Every structure is written in structure tokens, then in C-alpha cells.
Structure 1
Amino acid sequence: MRVIAGKAKRLKLKTIEGSDTRPTTDRIKETLFNMINMQLADCDFLDLFSGSGAIGIEALSRGAKSAVFVENNRASVECIKDNLRITKLNENGVVLALDVLSAIRTLEIQGRVFDVIFMDPPYNCLLEKQVLEALQFSNIIYYNTIIIVEASIETEFDYLEHTKFKIYKEKKYKTNKHIFIELKE
């Protein structure tokens, strides 16, 4: 796994051994960042369920002003910190070793607001639903915040019609998909 573009282009990133993480492939990561490239310049990026930190690091490499990485697995937290040092992007990255819902509350207290939120929760556990339900009433998002969920191809998002969110774009791959969500008008 490597950084695809930007300041840290071609640098190899560490990953966690075992099946606890599912690193996003370079091809899917490149497709994702081609889709959001215009929103990255000077943005504040939130990477939930960060794993190795590859998505948030890619955002920093491509011009994001800051990235907050949220991960509660100790080995993954150390991997993110190592990857930030390897890429020399650690000045712009903050790692929160918390579960995602606790991290959202912490970020609310800190008064942080994010332009782009990416989450890659464990598949088919409905964690994205819990996070979206928390985010819809959170002050860490605003009208133009983009929320991207990486999910299994089978994951349904029909519950969003009962929230403040709507899907504005969906990109399907062989086994997973990216759902692009924003606040309803």
C-alpha cells in the first residue's frame, strides 16, 4: 500500500497484520480521490475507523489542511502514527485512540468542524448507521460537509430517508461501494 499522489507520492505505508483491517486498494483509493479532489484543498478531513490511516494520509498528501484519525485498535493507532512519520505529515495529523462515537463527542467539545468525513467501519455491523445518526445532530458538520461511507455492496442505506441526510452519489465496485452523503436542503 502506498500514497498515490501529492507531497508524499509513492511512499509505502505500513499495514496491520491479520484480518482486523481491510486496506482500501490503490485502485479504489485513486477512484475515490479523483471524485473528491476538488474538495481537498485546505479542507479539514476526518477519517473514522482509520485502520492504517491510508485515506486520511492520502487527503493530507493531496492538500488537506488537517486530518483527524479515529481508531480504537492499539496496533492500528501505532501504525497510523508510524505512517504519519514516514510521510512527514504528522504536523497536520491528529490521532484519537477512541471509539468513533466517543471521538465525535470529543471533537464537538473541541469545536472542530470538518469539510470531509470518511468512514470505513467493519462491514455489515450497521456501525455506519449509528455514526450517521450521531452526526446528523452534531456540530462537527455543516451544510457543505461531505460524508463518504465505504460499505459492503449489500449494505442498505434506506434508513437515511428518516434522517437529515441524503445520498447524492454512489460508486460501486466488485465487493464494496462508496456512498456520498450530504445534509438535505
Structure 2
Amino acid sequence: MRIIAGSAKRREIKVPNAVVRPTTDRTREALFSIIQSYVDGAKVLDLFAGAGSLGLEALSRGAGNCEFVDMNRACTAVIEKNLTTLNLKGGSVVNADVLSFLKRARGGYDLIFADPPYFKVPGDRDFASELLAEDNGLNILSDDGLLIVEVDARHKPNIPTSWELVDQRRYGGCAILFLRKAK
């Protein structure tokens, strides 16, 4: 797994031994071609960060800063190592449950990436729907900001009316949802 573009282009990203499903290079390349105009100087939040590939890519492409949040210590340790190895400035790592973090988070994020564990079968926890239902998710996103959520392509999370789905793309088994605050 590598950084696609920017200051760390072609440099390898370490992936934790923990169970993670990093966003593929192909999906990241497509995603960032869509959102590139949002990235330069952006305040970014990478939720359920795992390997941190989305936030690392954003920093490499010129984001002002990125806060990475994951509850798995192996993941946060690898993200810290990647930030150092790739010499990417402006990254900070928080070891916390994402939904608990959102309850106390401060606002102003231009881009929020969320790649929660997939809902696959009835009975699985639907992190994507829980995230979208969290009121502070709306409060911490800037007025012109974008929330980008990766879900299993077969799953349609509940999207409250407080969010507007502005685009949706499918890449293999995943779907990327692009959301804004509803006007």
C-alpha cells in the first residue's frame, strides 16, 4: 500500500497487524480525484482510521492538518510511525472510541473521512448509521465541509434528513458516500 500523490508520493504505508481493511489504492486515487479541490489547506478528521491511509493521503496532498481517531492501539501506533516515516507534518493521533470522541470534539473540519467496520449481516453493529445519527458529527463539520463515508456496497445506512447525500460511488465491494449538512 502506497501514497498515491503529493509530497510522499509512491512511499509505502505500513499497515497494522490488527484486523483492518485499508481503502485500496485504486479507491483512494478515485476518491481524491473527486475531492482534490477540498484538500489544500483543509482541516481533516480521519475516523475509524485503521492504517490512516485516507488522512495520510490528504496530508501528502496539502491538507493543513489531520486528526486520526481509532480505538485500536496497534492502529494508532502504526499511524504515528507512518507520520514520522513519511515526514508528514500536521498529523495528530487520538486513541479513542470514535462515537465517544465525537461527543467531545470541537468543530471546523473541512473534510471528515469515516471508514467504519462494515455492516454485513443482520445483527452486526451498523457503525455508519450510528455515525450519521450522531448530532455532533454535524456540529464539527464546517458549513461547506464534506463527510465521506465508506460502506459495504450492499449496505444502505440510515441517512437522517440533517444530511444531504450529494454523491455516491461504487468501487468493487465498497461504496463511498459524499454527504453535506442539509440546507
TM-score (norm 1): 0.91
Q: 1:173 to 1:138 in 2, by over 3 A?
A: closer
Distance 2:139 2:154 in 1: 30
Quickly say closer, same or farther: Cα 1:147–1:135, change in 2 above 3 A.
farther
The answer as to whether partners of 1:150 and 1:179 remain within 8 angstroms in 2 is: yes
* Greater percentage in strand: 2
Aligned residues: 178
In structure 2, the CA distance between the partners of 1:41 and 1:17, relative to structure 1 (3 Å rule), is same
Distance verdict in 2 for CA 1:137–1:74, change over 3 Å:
closer
- Counterpart position of 1:131: 131
1:21 is aligned to 20
Q: Secondary structure at the match of 2:142?
A: coil
Matching of residues 1-185 of structure 1 within 5 Å: 1-17=1-17, 20-89=19-88, 91-108=89-106, 112-124=107-119, 125-135=125-135, 138-157=138-157, 159-160=158-159, 162-185=160-183
Query: What is the letter of the counterpart of residue 56 of structure 2?
Result: I
Identity %: 36
Deviation at 1:163, TM superposition (A): 2.9
CA distance in 2, matches of 1:168, 1:101: 23
Deviations 1:46-78 (A, max 9, x none): 000000111100000001000000001010010
Unpaired runs of at least 5, structure 1: none
TM-score, reference length from structure 2: 0.92
C-alpha contact 2:110 2:145 (8 A) present in aligned 1: yes
Structure 1 distance, partners of 2:182, 2:38, is 19
List structure 1 segments (4+ residues) > 6 angstroms apart after TM superposition.
none
* Separation in structure 2 between the aligned mates of residue 138 and residue 43 of structure 1, nearest angstrom: 17
CA distance in 2, matches of 1:102, 1:77: 16
| AA of the residue aligned to 2:21 | R
The structure in which a higher percent of residues are helix is 1
SS in 2 for 1:166: strand
Letter in 2 for 1:88: N
Distance 2:60 2:47 in 1: 18
1:155: how far off? Answer: 1.2
- Tell whether the 8 Å contact from 1:169 to 1:179 is kept in structure 2 after alignment: yes
SS at match of 2:143: coil
Whether contact under 8 Å (1:136, 1:163) holds in the other structure is no
